[in-house]
Structure 1
């Protein structure tokens, strides 16, 4: 797994834990630094802070385009993967669009259900095709 792939996976862990514990992701990062030897990659922190900063906008986009699914009904891990993928796709110009989608699908393949990769791919693929209008 690439360094960025590991950073995405760690960001998923942090964002998921924060949501499950109802704490700020920055608190999860701080706790990990204080209580473990875990190194937090700068790109992990960039993803986490980007998702936190844009979460309202990201969640609104996901609510609008996740046909037949509410955010609350999605498996929690899928919801976090979609937030990361949407942030990379729409708000991080350093990551090519196709990479953002394929990396999110890879996370879903390893971290979620058998149906999740197709769901993540379909939704992020749709957002990719609509990207010019979403950011207009």
Structure 2
């Protein structure tokens, strides 16, 4: 089944671009987002802003969850795309606004498009393990 790019899918990709760019430049993603908004480059979907701000606000918890479920992989060893897609996916699992299956599927679709051949199964596995361990609301 082909992945249909919804407005939220595009917002996730834009959030990924921001997180990736901030990391590459050694900046806080929140600061980069604020800078872009200040320069008039407001993301056209408020969900992008919600994702970036959520990932920044919960960064320690998110990274701890990823580290605890990514067996034999440290955050620094992961491809940057995978690391940041995992951060978005875990934040969505924590946020609970979308079903876990949707968050996992969207994250897997992003790395399928943008990362290595091994990334989809890796990201899917880590997010499924995190989802399984999170208390059900």
Q: Residue by residue, what CA displacement relative to the aligned partner does 1:66-96 show, whole Å, maximum 9, x if unpaired? A: 1000001001110000000000012x22111
Could you tell me the TM-score, scaled by structure 1's length? Answer: 0.89
Aligned-residue RMSD, C-alpha: 1.8
Q: How far off its partner does 1:34 sit?
A: 5.3
CA separation in 2, counterparts of 1:105 and 1:60? 20
- Give the unaligned 5+ runs of structure 2: none
Q: How far off its partner does 1:39 sit?
A: 3.5
CA separation in 2, counterparts of 1:27 and 1:130? 31
Q: Secondary structure at the match of 1:68?
A: coil
Q: Residue by residue, what CA displacement relative to the aligned partner does 1:28-76 show, whole Å, maximum 9, x if unpaired? A: 2244345575644210000000000001011111111110000010011
Q: 1:106 aligns with which of 81, 95, 109?
A: 109
CA separation in 1, counterparts of 2:41 and 2:24? 22
Q: Please identify runs of 4+ aligned residues in structure 1 that moved more than 3 A.
A: 30-40
Is the counterpart of residue 66 in structure 1 residue 64 in structure 2? no
CA separation in 2, counterparts of 1:87 and 1:2? 19
Residues 30 and 56 of structure 2 are in contact (CA less than 8 Å); yes or no, is this contact kept in structure 1? no
Q: How far off its partner does 1:129 sit?
A: 1.4
Q: How far off its partner does 1:131 sit?
A: 1.4
CA distance 1:23–1:40, shift in 2 (3 Å): farther
Is the counterpart of residue 5 in structure 1 residue 12 in structure 2? no
CA separation in 2, counterparts of 1:89 and 1:63? 15
Q: How far off its partner does 1:27 sit?
A: 3.0
Q: Secondary structure at the match of 2:54?
A: helix
